[in-house]
Structure 1
C-alpha cells in the first residue's frame, strides 16, 4: 500500500503508517530503523539494496532526500513531502521516503526523530557524500551504527585517513565489509599452515579502499611489513604471505573465483565473488556492536604500506599503476604484534 503526502508533517506521516498497517491487515514486527541519507539521483539504488536487506532484517526504512533548491526562492521555502509504503514489494517492513525542500533540508534531525521505532536500534547509512565526522553529525547521533562507503568518494584512500582520525565506536565502512570473505579464507589458511610469516604483499586496483584496508589488517595483526601492489583489478586481485616453506597465495584475477595455494598442499578453488550492496548492508545489520577489528585496521595508517619504486615509476608513465597519495598519518593506537600469529 502506498500513501502520498504533500506538504506534510512527521505527525501526519505516523498517522499514515498506522492506517497503512491496518489496511495491510497483518502484524508487522520490525527490529530496527534504517535511515538512508542520500539525494534524488542515488536514492533508487540505495533503497533497492536496503529493501533486499530488510528481507533478512525487517525494519523501518527512512529515506532522507535533501532538496535545498537552487534559486533563492526555493531555498527559502520549507516543505516536507513523503511517500509511505507498507506491504507489497516492501515485504515485512515499512518504507518512508522523505523529501526535504528548501530550508527544511538543513533540519533532517527534527523530521526523522519522531519517526524512529521506539525501543529499537537505529542505523544510519550514507551511500554517497558522508559527513566528515559521522558520529558528530546530528543524524549520526541517533544511531548505534553509522555506515559510510569510502569507495564512493573522490579520493578513497584519503577518506580512510579521515575515517581513522574521527573514528568513534559504531562507525564502519562498506570498504571493510567487502573484506569479510577474504579475511575468513586467509584466517583459515593460516590455521592450516602453522608457519611464521615474514612479509606480505596485497595486490589490487589503484585507489581501492578495500585493498588498502586488507593490507592494513594483515600488517596490524601479523606485525610484518606489507607491500601494496597495484593491478588493473577488478578490486582485490591477490594476497601473498611469505613463509619459510614458501608463499601462501590467494589469487583472484577475475573477481569471482580465487585459487588458494598453500605450500605442501594441493591448490584449491574458493568462491570470492564481488558482493552486491544488499549483501553488504545485510551483513552490517547482523551486528550493531562496535567493530574493534575495523578500528584497529583503519587506525594503523595507510602510510605504513610500502610501494615498489618500479611500480610508481611505471605508473607515472602509463597512468594506471600509480598509488594514491597517502593521507595524513592517523594516530596509531595499541602496539603491533611482536611475533606472527594467525589472523582472526
Structure 2
C-alpha cells in the first residue's frame, strides 16, 4: 500500500503513520533500526528495492530523503511524501521525502521526527556522498554511515577522500564487496605449505576502488611488498581481475577471467573454479547492517593500509 502526501509536513507524515498502523494493523514493534537513504530524485527506487530486500533480514524503518543539489536557490519550499507499507515495503515501512527549496537544505530536521525511538540509525548515500560523512547533517545522527566509492565520478579519488575524512562508524561498499575475496584468500593461506608470502600482485579496473582496498588489506596483513595495477575499463573487465601470491614453492593465483567465476591455481594441486560474483546492493547493504559498531579492520585498511600502499607507490611498486 502506498499513501501519497503532497505538499505536506513531517508532522503530518508522522500522524499519517500512526493512523495507518491503527487502521491496518501495521506495527513498528520488531523494527531493529532506522535506515536513512540520502539520494537524488529519479534514482531512489533502486536503493528502496535493495532496502526492502535487506529488510527481510533486518526489519527496519526506511526514510528516503530525495533532494536535488542543482535546484535553483529561489525554489519555493515544498515537501512531498509517500508512505509505503505491506507488499510495497518488504518487512519494513518506507517513508519517501522529496524536498524542495529551503526545506531540502535542512535534512536533519526532515528526519528527526520520523526516527524510531531508541533504535540505532544508519545513513546510506547510494550515490554522491558529502565530503566528510561523519560531520554531515545526516551523518551526525547515525551510528553507521555507508558510502559507495564506486558510484562516484572518480572512484579512486573518492577512496582517497574517504581515507582523509574517516570517522569510526564509516563504511563503504568497496570494502563490503571484498568479503568473498578475503575469505577465499584467507582459506588458501590456512592450508599447507605454510610458507611466507614474498610478494603480492593485485590487478583490477581503474574504476574499482575494491582493487585498491584489496591490495591495501594484503599489504597490511602480510607485511610484504605489494604491487597493484589498475587497467583501463573495457567491456566485461570491471572490478577485480586477480591476485597473485608469490612464495618459494610456487605462486598462488586467483584470477577472475569470467564474470562471477575465478580460477584458483596452486602448486601441486588441481585447478579449481571458485564462485566470486560481484555482490549486488542488497547483499552489500544486508552485510553492513549485520553490525552497528565501527568496523575497525576497515578503518585500519583505509588508513594504515592505503598509507603503506602510498609508500610503495612512491618507491615505484604501483604499476
Q: Confirm or deny a common fold (TM above 0.5).
A: yes
Q: How far apart, in 2, do the equivalents of 1:118 and 1:141 lie? A: 16
1:35 aligns with 2:36: yes
Q: How far apart, in 1, do the equivalents of 2:72 and 2:148 lie? A: 31
Aligned to 1:208: 208
Aligned to 2:8: 8
**2:73 and 2:101 in contact (8 A); partners too:** no
Could you list the runs of 4 or more consecutive aligned residues of structure 1 that deviate by over 6 angstroms after TM superposition? none
User: What is the CA distance between 1:92 and its match in structure 2?
Assistant: 2.0
1:17 aligns with 2:17: yes
Q: How far apart, in 2, do the equivalents of 1:96 and 1:235 lie? A: 33
**2:156 and 2:206 in contact (8 A); partners too:** no
Q: How far apart, in 2, do the equivalents of 1:133 and 1:149 lie? A: 13
3-state DSSP class of the match of 2:119?
Answer: coil
**2:241 and 2:257 in contact (8 A); partners too:** yes
- Structure 1 residues without counterparts, runs of 5 or longer: 313-344
Root mean square deviation, CA, Å = 2.0
Give the TM-score normalised by structure 1. 0.85
Aligned to 2:163: 164
Q: Which residue, 254, 258, 267 being the options, matches 2:258?
A: 254
Q: Which residue, 263, 267, 271 being the options, matches 1:267?
A: 271
Q: How far apart, in 2, do the equivalents of 1:60 and 1:224 lie? A: 45
Aligned to 2:103: 104
Aligned to 1:236: 240
Q: How far apart, in 1, do the equivalents of 2:238 and 2:156 lie? A: 17
Aligned to 1:51: 52
User: What is the CA distance between 1:270 and its match in structure 2?
Assistant: 1.1
| Mapping of residues 48-197 of structure 1, within 5 Å | 48-67=49-68, 70-71=71-72, 73-74=74-75, 77-193=76-192, 194-197=194-197
**1:148 and 1:173 in contact (8 A); partners too:** yes
| Mapping of residues 210-229 of structure 1, within 5 Å | 210-229=210-229
Q: How far apart, in 2, do the equivalents of 1:298 and 1:70 lie? A: 34
3-state DSSP class of the match of 2:190?
Answer: helix
User: What is the CA distance between 1:308 and its match in structure 2?
Assistant: 11
User: What is the CA distance between 1:261 and its match in structure 2?
Assistant: 1.7
Kindly provide the CA deviation profile for residues 23-72 of structure 1, in whole angstroms up to 9, marking residues without a partner as x.
Answer: 33254421100000000121111111111111211110000011467455
Q: How far apart, in 1, do the equivalents of 2:257 and 2:168 lie? A: 35
Aligned to 1:320: none
**1:31 and 1:57 in contact (8 A); partners too:** yes
Q: How far apart, in 2, do the equivalents of 1:262 and 1:308 lie? A: 29
1:283 aligns with 2:287: yes
Q: Which moved more, 1:148-157 or 1:65-74?
A: 65-74
Q: How far apart, in 2, do the equivalents of 1:293 and 1:71 lie? A: 42
